[in-house]
Structure formats: structure tokens, C-alpha cells
Structure 1
Amino acid sequence: MDSTYDRKAEVKAFDDSKVGVKGLVESGVTKIPRMFHSGKLDTIQTLATDSKLSVPIIDLKDMHYNTALHAELISKIRSACHEWGFFQVINHGIPISVLGEMIHGIRRFHEQDSKVRKEFYTRDLKKKVLYYSNISLLNSDQPVNWRDTFGFAVAPDPPKPEEIPSVCRDIAIEYSKKIRDLGFRILELLSEALGLNPSYLKELNCGEGLFILGNYYPTCPEPELTMGATKHTDGNFVTLLLQDQLGGLQVLHQNQWVNVPPVHGALVVNIGDLLQLITNDMFVSVYHRVLSNKSSPRISTSRK
């Protein structure tokens, strides 16, 4: 232990800079600050991508048409939610062009000049548009994640269009409408997988609150020392995640870390703690994490 180390001062200086982890990279750091150190990482346990264990990929193209195919779809979703808590969906109805432009929009925000970025930096959770690094930074002793986040409310009380940064405004508005509609369709499928009326979860208001987060994981000079996102579960009902093609997301399954490889045009669906609670563990909310890397920035967008 280093008795001279002042974590509070290091955290305060980082937060006062208002430019996040990206600011550290822009300053040319070759050693990450101590507050990011995660201790001994168990990445050695990670399963290879060619493992027989893989997160289910579910095709939604027939979800409202053929009765037999629809029943098979519901069965696959039920199994994925119970055994994995995670699955990927393809043919979900959101154009690949929209997904790609949303990734680019989040990148544009995080990679714009730091003087512009810092104008949005805040820890006021009452604001409808937020830019910050690590939401619990100031009141936690846990290792800090190598990640910055831009987010905005969609429902029930969205910001005015002019409040969303111009660099990603148009695509953020378009994507938020489409991902909200898809979220309601996913809730219908989850309701059916529980043996309930398709409208059940929606009528419980499980989809009324909606926040979109654009996460940016900068290149890390020492990825063996820190995580992009440490092991955690999501506290909400359900998350829809759009990830770029870099990879790094992992799910804890059967006590082993399993990669969730990016699938072109796919969205990741994962069950949150609240949905596990109200389904009496029929659906499970599982631990997941994101590795840091030194090759290139990772970008993801989640609907929570």
C-alpha cells in the first residue's frame, strides 16, 4: 500500500477536467492512472470464440406470420432468457444503415474537440442530456472503468431536439424512435415466452422509461490493468445493445466468460434484474463485462 496515494484528489482532478478518459488518451498518457487499476484480471479464463458455447442468435423475420415458426421463435427466446439471459436478434426491422450511422454519430460526439465535449459534461442526473465518465465516480471506491458515456432521455420526458448535440442530433432522434418501437416488440415476445398475453409486460409499464447511452471505450495503453466495464448486471427490465465490430463484450455462463462476437446488423438483448425479479427467476439477469484494448476505440449504444 502506498500511504502517499490520494485517490480522492486523483478522482477530483480527473472529473474537473471534464474531458473523460478520452481526454487522458488525447494528453498522451502511456500509464493509466491508479484509480483505473482493476487488480488481477481473470481474462485468462475467457473462452475462445470458436467454443461450442455461444450466445443464441435469433431471427425475428417470421415473428408475426407463420404460426409454427412463431411458436418455434417463442421457444428459442424462452430458452435463451432462461439459460443465458442474453441473445442476439437479426432481421429486427431497423435498417443496417441506421445502425451504422448511430455508431458513427456516437463516435463523432466523443471524438469532437474536447472544448466542445466538455460543455456537455455533467453529473446532474436531472438533465435530459448527459456526458460523463463513470456515473458513480465520486461516491465509489471501486476501480474506474475505462469508458466515457453520452446519454439522453427518450421517454417519458424527452429533451427538445435542440438540446441534443448537433453532431449526432438527426441520427439520435431517428434511432431512438426505431429502437423504442423494437423495444415494445421485444416486450411482446418476452411476454409470450412467459406464457402470457403479448401486451402483458407493456401494460406493466416495463417499457415506459427509456434512456439511450452511447458508450465510448478509448484505446488503452495498459489493457491488462483495467476494464472497459467491470463485472455487473443491469438493474432495469431489458437492455437492447448495438455494438460496433470490435468486440470485447463477454457474458458469464456456466462460470466461464463467453465472448459475444459482433454480428453485422444484429442487436444484443439482455435481461435485467427487474425482469428476473418479476418472472421469479424464469428469466435470468447475468453478469457481463467489457474488456479494454489498445488497438482501437470501441463504441456501443444501449437502450435501457
Structure 2
Amino acid sequence: MAAENIGSYKYNRMEEMKEFDESKMGAKGLSDSGITSIPRFFIHSQETLADLKPRLKPSQKPITIPIIDLSNMNSSPPAHRAQIVTQVKEAATTWGFFQVTNHGVSQSVLDSTIKAIKSFHEKPHETKSPYYKRGKGPGIRYHTNDDLFRARAATWHDTLQVFIGSAPHIEEEELPEVCRKEVVEWDVWARMVAEMVMELLSEGLGLEAGKLKELTLSGYRVMLGHYYPWCPQPDLTLGITSHTDNGGLTVLLQNQVGGLQVRHGDDWVDVMPVHGGLVINIGDFLQIVYNGEYKSVQHRVLANSSKEPRISIADLFSPSDWQASGSHGPLPELVSPEKPALYRNFTHREVLQLFYDEGLVNKSLVDKFKLVS
């Protein structure tokens, strides 16, 4: 990449990104250093930045994603569950995002998980840096922007990434000690919530409750422990760029610092943190296997303008047989002459190739695998 002359300053984007990456300081290190302006490779295009402005008129009331109470899911009469199934179906169809409360996970578990991920990111540089790495495949990685060298601009966040339920198996001792116990425990609870929601989603389309479990959808899991430090110029960058999740289902735990936004129609809608709530969103894989009945939607995170860091823990669920040679496509039960298949079958290798070629992009799987009518 050719260098640019900016006044008397010679700017080489690739060299500056490499220098930053090799420092292993992360966005938090930059924030803690006392900088008043962000490095140029974090600055986004005017087109992207213009879209950060609120589009609601002053007279319009703010809207947010649906909030669904799961407390009566398994109680009598059965009408309670049927009502929740209807709410989940509507939210997954019209929003692709919703929050669940009374999901069975105690507040103490939620709080301890957030605290543990925060503690890891706030450890001294020499404690975190051994985990700082890039590359493909399973394992434990800490980094700033998984797609740093592929994206058009970097985003203001650091991540502890843990592949769970993958081969080779990760031993508990490999996890950072400061969050080891909490990560292992949270995986159990997040999986419980995911499988509960998967049942409701399947029932909403008239399928057997265990249909997604048959597809091993909770077998392959990636935990992303994000840390969004204070940003000195939040109007010039993003926390995470607009994208859809390419897996099946995501369970998101977040602290009370906002920033997550969901695309709904022509607007970006703030996802306000709900105490004790968990955010659920549909991934591209589910949109495809459910033949377009449910929608994965674009979402992003704004750069953090608060001195308090934003913490979020996203657990992404995908089929474990992706690790084999299996392929997936729309479920036969949802395909008919009246509703033909909208997408072709695809393999895990194709999914990985798309991500490592293109990084976080909008609707990558859905657009690539859509059949031309």
C-alpha cells in the first residue's frame, strides 16, 4: 500500500496498523494513553459517518426491540407457552432481534460474567498480551478487530474470543485465570437459553420443538467477550460496523452502557439494556434453513462516548456438524410448490471462506446463497 503525504507527515496505513497490532495494546491501551484523537485507520468514510445521525423526527417516539417474558413458558395452561411462541415468532419475523427476561439465569450469574470479562480486559498489558493473536481455526484469542487487515476501517473495541465445542477441545486450564470459572459457567447457561429459544422458534413454524437440536445447532459455540473503552472521537468511528451474524442464533449479555443498534426499516433503533435481560438475534444460517421465514438483520455498535466501558458477551451458536463434510439448506418441511426453496445448500468451508475473504459484511450468507428465481 502506497504511503500518502499529508503536509509534512508521511502516512502509511498498513505500517501503522502493523505497528498498532504488534504493540498488543488494543483500543483500551490507546484510550488509556490519553490520546485526544484516534489513529487514522480507525476513521470511517463520510458515507458511514453520516448514517450515524438519528433519523427520527422530534415528534416521533423512540421504539425498541420486543421484550418477551419467558416466566410462564412451561406452566399450565398450555396457552401460556402458545402465547410466548406467538410473540417469539412475530419478533423473529419482523425484527430478527428481541430481548428475553425471566429466562432462568440468575442475576448473580449475569453480573459475575460481565465482571469477569471486564476484569480480563482491565488486566495489565503483560497479563493479556500472551493471548493476543490472529489466525484461523479454534482456540482462545484476544485482539482488536478480527478483520483489522481486511476491513476498510478499524472499529473501537477489543475482544476475548473463545471457541467452544470445537475440535480440538479447549481445556479449561487454557482460559485466562481471571475469567476461567465464569466463562465455563456462562457457556452452560447461554446454551440453556439458546436451546429454549430454538424450541420456541421451531414451534412457531409448526415444527417439532427439537428440530434445531437435531441439526446440532448448539454444538459449535463461539464466545466473544467485547470491551468498548471510552473513545475520544466517537463521531469518527464505530464500536463494530454494520453486519449480520452468519451463524444460527446469538445470545447477548450486556452491561448497562448502551450502543447496540438494530436496523429496522429505514431506521437504526437503539437496543436499550434491560436489567436481567438477554438479547437474542437470528443469524443468516437460521434465515436460510427456515427458508426466509425468520430474518437476520443488520446491527452495529456505536463508539463508546462514556467513561464507563461497554461490556458485551455474545455467544454465537452454529451446527457442530459444520466441522464435518455436511451441508445445509432450507428445511424440507418448509419447502413446497407454493413456497419453493429460496437458498441453495452450502458447506461450512464456504462460510469460513466468505468471512475470511470479506470480514464483517451485510447479509453475506443470505446474499451469496440465494437462488435466482
Do residues 20 (structure 1) and 20 (structure 2) align? no
**Are the counterparts in 2 of residues 109 and 117 from structure 1 also a CA contact under 8 Å?**
yes
Matches within 5 A, 1:202-281: 202-281=213-292
TM-score calculated relative to the size of structure 2: 0.78
Q: Aligned to 1:59, which of 66, 69, 84?
A: 69
| Structure of greater Rg | 2
- Tell me the secondary structure at the aligned position of residue 167 of structure 1: helix
Per the alignment, in what secondary structure is the counterpart of residue 198 of structure 1? coil
- CA shift, 1:127, in A, is 4.5
* Deviations, residues 81-135 of structure 1 (Å, cap 9, x unaligned): 0000000000000111100111100100000001111111011333421111111
Residues 173-231 of structure 1, C-alpha deviations (whole Å, 9 max, x = no match): 11111111221111111111121000111101222111111000110000010000111
Matching residue of 1:153:
163
> 3-state DSSP class of the match of 1:168?
helix
**Is the contact between residue 230 and residue 290 of structure 1 (CA under 8 Å) also seen in structure 2?**
yes
* Aligned equivalents of 2:24, 2:164: Cα separation in 1: 24
- 1:163-202 aligned at under 5 Å gives the runs 163-202=174-213
Structure possessing the higher relative contact order (Cα contacts under 8 Å, 6 or more residues apart): 1
Question: Pick from 85, 90, 101: which aligns with 1:90?
Answer: 101
Q: Distance in 2 between matches of 1:45 and 1:279?
A: 33
Amino acid at match of 1:142: R
Gaps of 5+ in 2: 317-373
Per the alignment, residue 109 of structure 1 pairs with 120
- Residue 152 of structure 1 and its aligned partner are, at CA, apart by 1.2
**Equivalent of 2:302 in 268, 291, 296:** 291
Deviation at 1:2, TM superposition (A): 4.3
TM-score by length of 1: 0.95
Identity fraction in percent: 43
Greater Cα shift, 91-100 or 65-74: 65-74
C-alpha distance 127-236 of structure 1, shift in aligned 2 (>3 A)? closer
1:117, 1:284 → 2: CA distance?
37
* Counterpart Cα distance in 1 of 2:234 and 2:55: 15
Distance 1:56 1:123, change over 3 A: same
Aligned residues: 302
Cα RMSD (Å) of the superposition?
1.6
User: Once structures 1 and 2 are overlaid, which stretch shifts more, 221-230 or 199-208?
Assistant: 199-208
Contact 2:107/2:276 (CA < 8 Å) preserved in 1? yes
How far has the Cα of 1:58 moved from its partner? 0.4
Secondary structure at the aligned position of 2:89 is classed as: helix
The structure 1 segments of at least 4 consecutive aligned residues displaced by more than 4 Å after TM superposition are: none
Seen in structure 2, the aligned counterparts of structure 1 residues 180 and 85 have a Cα distance that, compared at 3 Å, is same
The 8 Å contact of residues 120 and 130 in structure 1, kept in 2 or not, is answered as yes
Which stretches in structure 1 are left out of the alignment for 5+ residues?
none
Q: Per-residue deviation at 1:160?
A: 1.1
The answer as to whether partners of 1:19 and 1:121 remain within 8 angstroms in 2 is no
